[in-house]
Amino acid sequence: ERSFVCFVNCTRRNVDMFWVNFQGKHIKHKTLARRERYKIVTYVTHPWVFRDSETSSALVVNSEETFYPKPALQPGQQVYGPASPRYIIANICIPLYSLKDRAAQVVWSCLHDPQAVFSLEIPKVLMLTIAKWPNCGSLYRGNHN
């Protein structure tokens, strides 16, 4: 069943839009510029996810990381004669991060060398959080004190 969606990038970041295919693979559809709106005809069986283009951090629609399109017509709703489609507005936003996650993001953004995280005088929990991120190449080997 078709769904008419207007994705709105409500962030100050470029956003990569991914359709999640039936095997669960993320297929990049488009990159939305800051504040860009994008209308699309999709299907209720096509979930979408959104990532910050620069950091690959997950973004949300309605506080959810995965957006599931709603049908164009809701149950009991009928259209008599020609009608223009009613687009559902899907606002893409930055999620509310925990203090720990936000602190880790800020520390990571200041690093020139990912290995340097272990030489900083920061709480171990931040070191381990940063080291486990995919773009750190699995720095943590379990032997850092």
The CATH number of the domain holding residue 31 is 2.60.40.780
- Tell me, what DSSP letter sits at residue 23? T
Structure confidence at residue 115 (pLDDT): 79
Residue numbers of the domain that contains 130: 99-136
For residue 142, is it within any domain? no
Residues 32 and 54 in one domain: yes
What is the model's pLDDT at position 137? 43
d(CA 143, CA 81): 69
Asked whether residue 84 is domain-assigned, the answer is yes
pLDDT value, residue 51: 96
Domain boundary among 78, 93, 108: 93
pLDDT bin (cut points 50, 70, 90) of residue 20 is: very high
pLDDT tens figures, 96-135: 989 998 898 888 888 877 778 888 899 999 988 888 776 6
Three-class SS of residue 129? helix
- Per-residue pLDDT, 116: 84
- One domain for residues 75 and 113: no
Query: Is residue 60 domain-shared with residue 8, that is, in the same domain?
Result: yes
Residues 65 and 121 in one domain: no
CA-CA-CA-CA torsion sign (91, 97, 101, 104):
positive
CA distance 136 to 113: 9
